[in-house]
Every structure is written in structure tokens, then in C-alpha cells.
Structure 1
Amino acid sequence: MKRAGKTPRFKRQRRLLVELPGMGKAGALERRPYPPGQHGQQRRKYSEFALQLEEKQKIRFHYQIREEQFRRFINKAKASKATNWVEALVNMLEKRLDNVVFRLGFAPSIPAARQLVSHGKVLVNGKKVNVGSALVKVGDKITLKPEAYDNQVYMQAKQSPRLPLPTFMSKDEVGGKEEGRMTDEPNLESVPFAFEPGLVIGYYSMRG
């Protein structure tokens, strides 16, 4: 599986001036809250295109999706009956199994969650699903294989949660093991960082 680019995750977040939780470890902007490079601390002038591009990149980098895959999600969102296709896009991205595993606190980042899924450690309604892009439905129960609860990835996430549990999910402990459930449909407010949907719409309205 290719990553969404080879630029170091902290540098990518500093360039966008926002922390993207899906990329993992916090602190990208703590010591250097300005873009990388020798001119990083100088005030930048943004064109409308640059603003639109950066807003789109926030979404893509947080969810760790390649550009061609991202465009497929956008085409599906535009083809939906949703009034706002960006909200339909967010709904699908938040329901991806790799993201759900991350948001439940079973992994410290989306790439780590994707690895758990691809290694067959994640169960949906008791059945193994090893495709990170599989969409979880409201009511679905998400658990890990018994041995995965002793996995270092899971233990790290449990000890240092990256995000609070979102309102569209619930989590309980059953028999000493955590299990999560999607209880509602995600919406624009489910995105765990600030972004402007209108800029994303503007970017793709000019480019098909």
C-alpha cells in the first residue's frame, strides 16, 4: 500500500499549519508553528487556488488517501443525493474501516489502523475484514481478535488516546475487551480538525 506521499508527516502538517490527527503523533506545530523552509516564518500570500488546494490536501492527508482514490470518493459523493457533496464525502471517509478503528482508539493513527486491518486483526460483527477501505454501517460492531488486544499498537493507543471518542460511535468493555459500535451517521462536524468545505467545493468545481 502506497502512502499519501513521502514528505515527513510533521513537515506536511507544518506546511498546512494544522495538526492532522490521522497522521499520528501530536506536536507538529508545538515548537515550530510555521511552515518549513528558510522562509517559513515570513507571512505568505495566498491565491484563491492555493487556499483551495491546501484545504483539499488537509482532508486527503488526514485520511491518508492517494489522489486517484480520493477522486473516486469525490465522484461517488457527487453522484449521491446529498445536498452538500462534501458532507457525503466526509460521511464515507469517516466510515472507512481504517478510520473507524482509529477513531475508536484501537490504533494511534490511520496508517497503524490500516495495518491492523490488513493483518486480519479487526472483526466487523464477529467476521474478519482485511480491507481498510471497507465502509462500516450504523449498528456494526467493531472488535479485535483476542491476541490483538495485547498488540503494542493497541496498547499505545489505549494509553495515549489521540482523539476523544466521536459522538457517532460508542465503546464498551465486554469480558475485559473493548468493543466499539457505529451509532449514527458521521457529518461535517465529525472531521477532527478545522477546514472550510467551500474551498474544497471550489477546487473541484474548477477541475471536474
Structure 2
Amino acid sequence: MTKRIDAKYKINRRLGVNLWGRPKSPLNNRDYKPGQHGQRRAGKLSDYGIQLHAKQKLKGYYGNINERQFRKVYQEAVRRRGDTGENLIGLLESRLDAVVYRMKLVPTVFASRQFVNHGHILVNGKRVNIPSYQVKVGDVIEVKDRSKELLIVLESIKSGERDIPDYIEVDAKGTKGTYLRVPTLSEVPYPVQMEPNLVVEFYSR
């Protein structure tokens, strides 16, 4: 188990939001930051602090992506035509680990990264074990036959904790789906408000 997976709920408490909307989050009972000074009244954030907070929320939500990877995604969003903030969300939602998470094949985005890494996922019939792999519109994502009966998959599919968004079509068994379109910010079912425009401002300083 990686330190990232071990510390996923510390991200919630550090940012002061239930980032994935999970009922198990300790923030539901302790809505203050961790550490001995966590209950002190927080000071007012500067513009830089607000932008940094927005970036940390977005990075944390997608499995606490490291800074090098996240900046690379941002640079690609800038390179593409259109609104950079919307492009950023589209690129993040097109990551294979994000699509697997949206399909409800696993309970968390951290589990999704591990699931892909271990070679349980096929894209258009071919095994892909790179979580950051960019899924294209029309791609078919499915669980490998030998992995379909794994307990984590069966329990996650039956879970009523999340709904599958409209931009992904999943078959009746829940183990195979098609990426229909790149979503806009308003279509992504974030449990908390995401502000990619502030992330753009952060990197544009």
C-alpha cells in the first residue's frame, strides 16, 4: 500500500473538504485540520492561497497526482484550443484511472490507479496498465475476464454510493463501458466545488 493511499483522508482534513463525498471521511466528525494546531481559527487566505487551494483540491481528487504530472496536464490544456479550465477538466476526466473510477469498478480513485497498474483493465481489447493513459472518445474499457469476479469489483458495482455519469455508457453487467464524450465541468459529478479557472490563474502568475 502506498503512502498516498494510506493518507487519502489526511488530504480531506488538510483541505477542509470531504473531497470524494465518502461517508467514511473523518472530516464528517472532525471538521478541522489535523495536528495539534488544527483547531485554531484559520486566517483569511490571500489570492495566491485561494488559487493554491483550488489546485490542491483538483490534484488531490484525482489520486493526489504529483506536481510534475499535473503541470504536464495543464500545459497540454493550454496548448489545446478553447477554454483552458475546461480543457484541464476534460484531460483529467479522460485519464484511464478516472474513467475506471467513474464506471464504479472500484470504490476509490486510489484503488482505481492500483487496479489499472495491476493489469486488470483492457482498452479496446488490449491490456493497459498506465493510470494516466488518455482514453479517447469511443474507446471501450472493460475488466479482464479473470478479474470480473474480484470482490472489490462486485462490491463496487453494487454500491449505491455513486452514480455513473452520462458521458460513460456501461453495460448491464457493469464491467464494460464506452467513453462517449469528453465532459464539461458542469457534467462532472464532483462532491465539492472545483474551480479550474483559479488553477489557470495560479499557473499564469
TM-score with structure 1 setting the length: 0.86
- The residue aligned with 1:188 is 185
Preserved contact between residue 93 and residue 182 of structure 2 (Cα < 8 Å): no
Preserved contact between residue 98 and residue 110 of structure 1 (Cα < 8 Å): yes
Preserved contact between residue 103 and residue 174 of structure 2 (Cα < 8 Å): no
Residue 37 of structure 1, aligned match among 35, 38, 42: 35
Preserved contact between residue 25 and residue 108 of structure 1 (Cα < 8 Å): no
Q: State the distance in 1 between where 2:18 and 2:78 align.
A: 27
- The residue aligned with 1:109 is 108
In structure 1, runs of 5+ residues without a counterpart are none
Q: 3-state DSSP class of the match of 1:150? A: coil
Runs of 4+ deviating beyond 4 Å: none
TM-score with structure 2 setting the length: 0.87
In structure 2, runs of 5+ residues without a counterpart are none
- The residue aligned with 2:77 is 77
RMSD (Å) for aligned C-alpha atoms: 2.3
Preserved contact between residue 21 and residue 163 of structure 1 (Cα < 8 Å): no
Q: State the distance in 2 between where 1:40 and 1:7 align.
A: 20
Per-residue CA deviations over 1:33-74 (Å, capped at 9, x if unaligned) read 222233333331212211111110011111121101101111
Over the matched positions of the two proteins, sequence identity in percent amounts to: 37
Cα distance change of structure 1 residues 171 and 191 upon mapping to structure 2, 3 Å threshold: same
- The residue aligned with 1:16 is 15
In the alignment, residue 70 of structure 2 is paired with which amino acid?
A: F
Structure 1 residue 161: deviation in Å? 4.8
Equivalenced residues, count: 201
Per-residue CA deviations over 1:105-157 (Å, capped at 9, x if unaligned) read 00111221122212221111222111111111112111111121111321232
- The residue aligned with 1:28 is 26
Cα distance change of structure 1 residues 191 and 66 upon mapping to structure 2, 3 Å threshold: farther
Preserved contact between residue 62 and residue 109 of structure 2 (Cα < 8 Å): yes
In the alignment, residue 69 of structure 2 is paired with which amino acid?
A: Q
Cα distance change of structure 1 residues 63 and 180 upon mapping to structure 2, 3 Å threshold: same
Q: Which moved more, 1:117-126 or 1:35-44?
A: 35-44
